[in-house]
Amino acid sequence: MEKFGEILSNMPIDPSLKVKKSKLEKSQNELSNECIICEGRGWISLDKPIGDPNFGQINPCKCREENIDSEKKSQLLRYSNLGHLSRFTFKTLNTQGLSKDRSEQEAYEKSFEIIKNYSENPNGWLIISGDHGSGKTHIAAALTSECIKNNTPAFFIYVPDLLDHLRSTFSPASEITFSDMFELVLETPVLVLDGLGTQNSSSWAQEKLDQILNHRYNTQLATIITTSNPISELDSQIRSKINNLDLCKTVILKPWDISKNLRQGNIDPELFKRMNFKSFNFRGNNPRAHEAISLEMAFKAAKEFAQDPHGWLTLFGNTGVGKTHLAISIAEFRKQKNQFTYFAFVPDLLDHLRNTFAPDSKLAYDTVFDSVKNSELLILDDLGRERSSPWAEEKLFQIIAHRHNGRMPTIITTMIDFTEDGPLQHIRSRVRDPWVGSCLRIEAPDYRSKYIGKY
């Protein structure tokens, strides 16, 4: 990759990107005796009679036009700062992404189509977001290559590198001035900022970045941004710009399943070994006839839910009757289908949400909260055992109301009979809604009081 001084040595770029005379002369010599139209001269005169407006007009030969176009693209490539990333084009990219899941492939294809359409006419902002390894940088490089192909100047740079280069311009040994570097980024027709959010910004660096984004936002210059962070974790000033749907398009290549990276959301593999449908014991702890029927009905309901998760399933009863066992069994079954289940022991979940407000927390509250609310399949284990407070009730209600409105697959285990009226009425009303799911009472002796069978 060339130094910025070398890139800027040919700046400013003329809009027509005309090539220097010496280069044209050199190219003309190389073309000598190769073109049968112009005989290597590079120019042709039109055969027109005297008096014709085009009489005596000199036009570039076709071979010359091809050479000029090649020179333009070479200059644009140097200007772009792509370096070794120039090998990435839309032809070399996988339009279905890396996932083997068909639904994720279809989502990726739709995002790719939006990106491809933008490349044909770069206008406004394009935000490419997604988890690490989703191909954001490769697509950003392909977008830059497409601009070069269409003779549109585009400048590609990794955000931490940009800030480092801006700082380095103040060094006495710097080959370029701060104003030259800053002007290049401010005014380039298409700016590609790769890795926004990965920078370790000082107040000065953040100020410069804000200035760049504000200028390009106000002047509506084409800007492409990639980020590995969820949009909710970006700086508030940046978020406000991204939310302007008239100027900005946002595509998500690979949604963040933050829950997979949280200890809170994961299920210990040992639980899968102990708690699954095969190990569930209908005999329980010497149940009476009606209790055995209760266990069998709960088992069948859990098995049906596991095969086709939709709506809600609430299992309630005393401690040790197998509620959590069946919930984990559903998660284990879905795991075999490559579906992740967010498992939340409710008291721990609320503690985890509180901890996100700590100054040293590495996760934002919104990120954790959204991962719970929007998880593909959620288990709320032991609902009602949490330490009640207005804040805790509010958070629980937000989760339950959100998933109730969307009829998102949810499993609840609890000792509370939500079919009856009582405290937390606004939560009870949604849990027992027959249009969304079903509540099943498990009546059986405590498994743990006398270990029997495989349980």
What is the tens place of the pLDDT at every residue in 79-95?
Answer: 888 888 888 898 888 88
Using DSSP's 3-state secondary structure scheme, residue 381 falls into strand
pLDDT at 126: 96
- 3-state SS track over the chain: CCCHHHHHCCCCCCCCCCCCHHHHHHHHHHHCCCCCCCCCCCEEECCCCCCCCCCCCEEECHHHHHHHHHHHHHHHHHHHCCHHHHHCCCCCCCCCCCCCCHHHHHHHHHHHHHHHHHHHCCCCEEEEECCCCCCHHHHHHHHHHHHHHCCCCEEEEEHHHHHHHHHHCCCCCCCCCHHHHHHHHHHCCEEEEECCCCCCCCHHHHHHHHHHHHHHHHCCCEEEEEECCCHHHCCHHHHHHHCCCCCEEEEECCCCCHHHHCCCCCCCHHHHHHCCCCCCCCCCCCCCHHHHHHHHHHHHHHHHHHHCCCCEEEEECCCCCCHHHHHHHHHHHHHHCCCCCEEEEHHHHHHHHHHCCCCCCCCCHHHHHHHHHCCCCEEEEEECCCCCCHHHHHHHHHHHHHHHHCCCCEEEEECCCCCCCCCCHHHHHHHCCCCCEEEEECCCCCHHHCCCCCC
pLDDT at 440: 93
The percent of residues above 70 in pLDDT, for the chain, comes to 81
pLDDT at 119: 92
Tokens 């000792």 belong to which residue? 415
pLDDT at 154: 93
Write the pLDDT tens digit of every residue in 196-219.
Answer: 987 766 788 889 999 999 999 999
Whether the predicted pLDDT of 299 surpasses 80? yes
Q: Which region, left, alpha or beta, applies to residue 83 given φ > 0 means left and ψ of -120 to 50 means alpha?
A: left
- 3-state SS track over 73-106: HHHHHHHHCCHHHHHCCCCCCCCCCCCCCHHHHH
Whether the predicted pLDDT of 259 surpasses 50? no
Q: Which residue has the higher pLDDT, 190 or 367?
A: 190
- Average pLDDT, integer, range 227-238: 80
Q: What is the mean pLDDT of the chain?
A: 81
Judged by average pLDDT, the poorest of 4-8, 129-133, 142-146 is: 4-8
- Average pLDDT, integer, range 265-289: 83
Write the pLDDT tens digit of every residue in 3-48.
Answer: 545 554 555 444 443 333 344 344 444 444 567 777 666 667 677 7
Q: How is the chain split into domains, by residue range?
A: 74-257, 261-442
pLDDT at 79: 83
Whether the predicted pLDDT of 131 surpasses 90? no
pLDDT at 93: 82
- Average pLDDT, integer, range 103-130: 90
Whether the predicted pLDDT of 130 surpasses 60? yes
pLDDT at 266: 79
pLDDT at 450: 59
Range 74-257 classified under CATH 3.40.50.300: yes
Judged by average pLDDT, the poorest of 23-27, 302-306, 345-349 is: 23-27
Write the pLDDT tens digit of every residue in 405-436.
Answer: 999 999 999 998 888 888 778 888 999 999 99
CATH T-level topology, domain 261-442: Rossmann fold (3.40.50)
Whether the predicted pLDDT of 261 surpasses 50? no
pLDDT at 338: 84
Query: What is the residue type of 322?
Result: G
- Average pLDDT, integer, range 91-113: 81
CA 260 to chain centre: 15
Structure token pair of residue 383: 């609902």
**Do the domains at 74-257 and 261-442 have one common CATH topology?**
yes
The percent of residues above 90 in pLDDT, for the chain, comes to 32
Write the pLDDT tens digit of every residue in 348-407.
Answer: 888 888 877 766 565 667 777 888 888 999 999 999 877 777 888 888 999 999 999 999
pLDDT at 249: 92
- Average pLDDT, integer, range 272-285: 84
Q: Report the alpha-carbon distance of residue 411 to residue 306 in Å, rounded.
A: 10
- Average pLDDT, integer, range 276-305: 87
